[in-house]
Amino acid sequence: MSFESLGLKAELLRAVREQGYNEPTAVQKQAIPIILDGHDIMAGAQTGTGKTAGFTLPLLQKLGETSPAEGRRPVRALVLTPTRELAAQVGDSVETYGRHLPYRSAVIFGGVKINPQISKLRRGVDVLIATPGRLLDHMQRGTVDLSQVEMLVLDEADRMLDMGFIHDIRRIMKCLPGRENRQSLLFSATFSKEIRQLASQFLNRPERVEVSPRNSTVDLIDQLVCPVDKRRKRELLSHMIGSGYWKQVLVFTRTKHGANRLARQLEMDGLSTAAIHGNKSQAARTRSLSEFKNGDIRVLVATDIAARGLDIDQLPHVVNYELPNVPEDYVHRIGRTGRAGNEGTAVSLVSPEEIKMLKDIERLIRREIPQQVLEGYEVTARARPAEYHPGNASGKPARRQSKRQKRRNRPAAGKQGTKTGYSSLAERMF
Ligand code: AMP
């Protein structure tokens, strides 16, 4: 199927061609015609699937179907995103895909000066991309008017709820035209009860679009668990990056403090590294990200919130230095790699303390992640390595096995690693 057959206008097709896209992705094929027909949608699509173009292209086209009132250009399309980074990226996409159209867009988020945003809004904006907190700030100051919004996008809605934005969202919704008088599009990687509730409140008879099975991880990503003692994780990580000649790796830690410490240690190991998290200024985050994208920095250490929405083309390696507390975050984290048809690898360094988290993740993605104990980094006896066996789903210490049981439970060649032999998966990774 081609972009032409989706019914997009020439200016948008030109922009898509200039991006070098040959074919729409699955979510684009499904969502674009429904949005062009004027329906609300509730789309299950995680980051990396091309969802941004999936809503931006038809949104820009729909804006051409109505003419704004005379005078100041009112905000006619509003995109809400959970984080600054995602807002900036959606803003870039709106600029890119809309470059042959006459619309003006603005991105507003917190952590930067408000006055330039106010000036931009005053000059008139057709498409506004915003994080909820700063948008409310503008609403309270009376520097933005949302009464003319025709199209609303809730991007990464699950993350907005995880981050506690539900009250902000409700307050914003009160200032928009009712759901019958606007078109609303909701995108979410997961569909919890809370998301379904949100959809039932703010969407008008939405059509469902789902491009990958609920809560499943992107198939193109090779996933691997490396059991290792907590105190040896940093050493193992440096070894992997160095011996695998990894040029670009995104590493996740659970805390800001942990991200800073790890970045410092990796620097001492001779790996050029930067950390991004909520305590870093927006300018510092943007600088680190562009250095990482350019290849000036080899390792980017990030917390979940800071990394949300990062779009780095063809990122080959993601490492979970620590597993996330919330299993859904695992899906988001590894979605940084294997984007738009490229292969990627996601390695999780799992210490004995994290086994329960690993089991929760495996339950969520309905899949056991292959394991590889790396030679020289075996967990100590105290850590009871048998607990790592994926077959032991209870996470309890394994009971002694008979010889027959042991033979039956032996990992299949090439699937699960042993202490000495690398699995074929690991061979490709390191
Ligand atoms: P997203 O899921 O929106 O974050 O998009 C992930 C990546 O896919 C971005 O780098 C896009 O530029 C890219 N992309 C979007 N649509 C296509 C397409 N039809 N063909 C190839 N790449 C695409």
Q: What is the pLDDT of residues 179-228, one digit of tens each?
A: 999 999 999 987 888 889 999 999 999 999 987 643 444 555 688 999 99
Could you read off the pLDDT of 243-282 as tens digits, one per residue? Answer: 888 888 999 999 999 999 999 999 999 999 999 887 878 7
Cα dist. 172→130, 145, 151, 154, 283 in Å? 11, 11, 14, 12, 27
pLDDT at 80 over 80: yes
* R_g (Cα) of the chain, nearest Å: 23
Assign 21 to helix, strand or coil. Answer: coil
Mean pLDDT of 134-155: 96
**In 104-142, which positions are buried (b, 16+ CB within 10 angstroms) versus exposed (e)?**
ebbbbbbeeeeeebeebbeeebbbbbbbbebbbbbbeee
Question: What is d(CA 316, CA 343) in angstroms, rounded to the nearest whole number?
Answer: 7
Mean pLDDT of 45-52: 83
Q: Which atom number of ligand 1 is nearest to the Cα of residue 45?
A: 2
Supply the residue whose CA is at minimum distance from atom 9 of ligand 1.
50
pTM: 0.62
Residues of the chain with CATH 3.40.50.300: 4-210, 221-395+405-429
From 2, 21, 315, the mutation candidate for ligand 1 (largest count of ligand atoms within 8 A of CB) is: 21
Tell me what the pLDDT averaged over the chain comes to.
83
Contact 344 CB / ligand 1 (< 6 Å): no
pLDDT at 411 over 70: no
The dihedrals phi and psi of 10, each to the nearest 5 degrees, come to -55, -40
**Whether the Cβ atoms of residue 333 and residue 318 lie closer than 8 Å to each other:** yes
Assign 350 to helix, strand or coil. Answer: strand
**Whether the Cβ atoms of residue 45 and residue 216 lie closer than 8 Å to each other:** no
Could you read off the pLDDT of 350-382 as tens digits, one per residue? Answer: 999 999 999 998 887 777 888 988 888 989 855
CATH of domain 221-395+405-429: 3.40.50.300
Residues of the chain with pLDDT > 90, as a percent, come to 54
**In 2-14, which positions are buried (b, 16+ CB within 10 angstroms) versus exposed (e)?**
ebeebebeebbbe
Q: Which two tokens stand for residue 134?
A: 């700063």
Q: How far is the CA of 35 from the centre of ligand 1 (A)?
A: 18
Assign 332 to helix, strand or coil. Answer: helix
Contact 52 CB / ligand 1 (< 6 Å): yes
Measured at the CA of 177, the angle between CA 71 and CA 128, to 5 degrees, comes to 60
How many helices (H) and strands (E) would you count in the chain?
Answer: 17, 13
Q: Which two tokens stand for residue 145?
A: 């008017």
pLDDT at 70 over 80: no
Name every residue whose Cβ is closer than 8 Å to that of residue 22 and which is 6 or more positions away in sequence. none
Q: Which fold has domain 4-210?
A: Rossmann fold (3.40.50)
Contact 21 CB / ligand 1 (< 6 Å): yes
Q: How far is the CA of 127 from the centre of ligand 1 (A)?
A: 20
Q: How far is the CA of 28 from the centre of ligand 1 (A)?
A: 10
Q: Which atom number of ligand 1 is nearest to the Cα of residue 3?
A: 19
Q: Which two tokens stand for residue 41?
A: 């949608």
User: What does DSSP assign to residue 268?
Assistant: H
Max mean pLDDT among 7-21, 204-218, 359-373, 386-400 falls in 7-21
Contact 337 CB / ligand 1 (< 6 Å): no
Contact 48 CB / ligand 1 (< 6 Å): yes
